[in-house]
Each structure stands twice: as structure tokens, then as C-alpha cells.
């Protein structure tokens, strides 16, 4: 059974990973939109 400190650290690292993933998705979607606009011109 992991200690509460280890659990808290794990939760924090998972939240950080989720935040990074969200940021990457936002960047990817904006790049995709720009690429589509270029294709439609």
C-alpha cells in the first residue's frame, strides 16, 4: 500500500500530464484549422 505522500505525488504528476496533453491538443487543433483554411483557398 503506497503512502499518502506517494499517492499525492502521483495525482499531481497525472494532473500535470493531463494539462500538457490538453495544451498539445489545443495546438494541434489550431494547426489543423490553419491547414484546412489553406486547403480551402
Cell of 17: 500530464
Residue 32 domain-assigned (yes or no): yes
Domain count, the chain: 1
* Owning domain of residue 37: 15-41
Q: What is the pLDDT of residue 12?
A: 98
- Distance, in Å, from the CA atom of 3 to the CA atom of 32, rounded to the nearest integer, reads 43
Quote the mean pLDDT of the chain: 96
The reply to whether 9 falls in a domain is no
Does the residue 4 lie in any domain? Answer: no
Is 3 domain-assigned? no
Which pTM value belongs to this model? Answer: 0.70
pLDDT at 10: 98
- Would 20 be classed as within a structural domain? yes
SS3 41: coil
Amino acid at each position: 500500500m503506497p503512502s499518502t505522500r506517494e499517492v499525492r505525488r502521483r495525482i499531481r504528476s497525472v494532473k500535470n500530464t493531463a494539462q500538457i496533453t490538453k495544451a498539445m491538443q489545443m495546438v494541434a487543433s489550431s494547426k489543423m484549422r490553419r491547414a484546412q483554411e489553406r486547403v480551402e483557398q
